[in-house]
């Protein structure tokens, strides 16, 4: 049986992953409206990945004989200012999620909850990837500045994500 505090923080993380999925879907809609179809595609897949992360928490809570408690989702923004602003918002959100995962990890340590430890290790590694992916796109966008041709090249590259 899982400790009630662990159950609570795992449910909070389930909600945060669902919100991330919601946020990235809003970003995908924004990129569609901006005719940046590669960015829109990339974000749509990112949204799908976050929903999968949420389901990992859903399954883990159930497997540990805990109770999944769904919470309401905050409304994501509709506009993100610019392509670079949207990607910066994405990186900022990933850093927030990294902090939450680290807090979860610490709580698992406090309760000597070894199964949660092992479960969370995948997320610790995943966050390194997630932050890097957002940072790489930001670096490319910074490099091209206001060059529209450069933006189309990045957009084409992101369209290839499978
Ligand atoms: Fe599931 Fe991008 O954190």
pLDDT in tens, 97-106: 999 999 999 9
- Ligand 1 shell residues, CB under 6 Å: 17, 20, 50, 53, 94, 97, 130
pLDDT of amino acid 14: 97
Q: How far is the CA of 20 from the centre of ligand 1 (A)?
A: 7
Q: Give, for 11, the enclosing helix (H) or strand (E).
A: helix 4-33
pLDDT of amino acid 53: 98
Q: Is the pLDDT of residue 136 over 90?
A: yes
Going from the C-alpha of 127 to that of each of 63, 64, 134, the distances in angstroms are 23, 23, 11
pLDDT in tens, 52-86: 999 999 999 999 999 999 999 999 999 999 999 99
pLDDT in tens, 29-48: 999 999 999 999 999 999 99
The proportion of the chain whose per-residue pLDDT surpasses 70, expressed as a percent, equals 100
Instruction: Give the pLDDT mean for 107-119.
Output: 96
pLDDT of amino acid 1: 84
Dist CA 82 CA 60 (whole Å): 37
Q: Is the pTM of this model over 0.75?
A: yes
- What is the DSSP annotation of 34-61? TT-HHHHHHHHHHHHHHHHHHHHHHHHH
Q: How far is the CA of 87 from the centre of ligand 1 (A)?
A: 14
Q: How far is the CA of 65 from the centre of ligand 1 (A)?
A: 24
């Amino acid at each position: 049986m899982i400790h009630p505090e662990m159950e609570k923080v795992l449910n909070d993380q389930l909600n945060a992953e669902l919100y991330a999925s919601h946020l990235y879907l809003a970003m995908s809609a924004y990129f569609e409206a901006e005719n940046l179809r590669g960015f829109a595609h990339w974000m749509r897949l990112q949204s799908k990945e976050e929903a999968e992360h949420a389901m990992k928490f859903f399954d883990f809570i159930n497997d540990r004989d805990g109770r999944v408690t769904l919470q309401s989702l905050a409304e994501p923004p509709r506009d993100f200012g610019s392509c670079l602003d949207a990607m910066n918002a994405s990186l900022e959100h990933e850093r927030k999620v990294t902090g939450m995962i680290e807090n979860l990890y610490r709580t698992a340590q406090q309760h000597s909850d070894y199964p949660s430890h092992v479960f969370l290790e995948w997320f610790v590694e995943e966050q390194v990837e997630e932050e890097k992916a957002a940072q790489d796109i930001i670096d490319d966008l910074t490099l091209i500045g206001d060059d529209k041709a450069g933006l189309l090249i990045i957009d084409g590259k992101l369209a290839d994500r499978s």
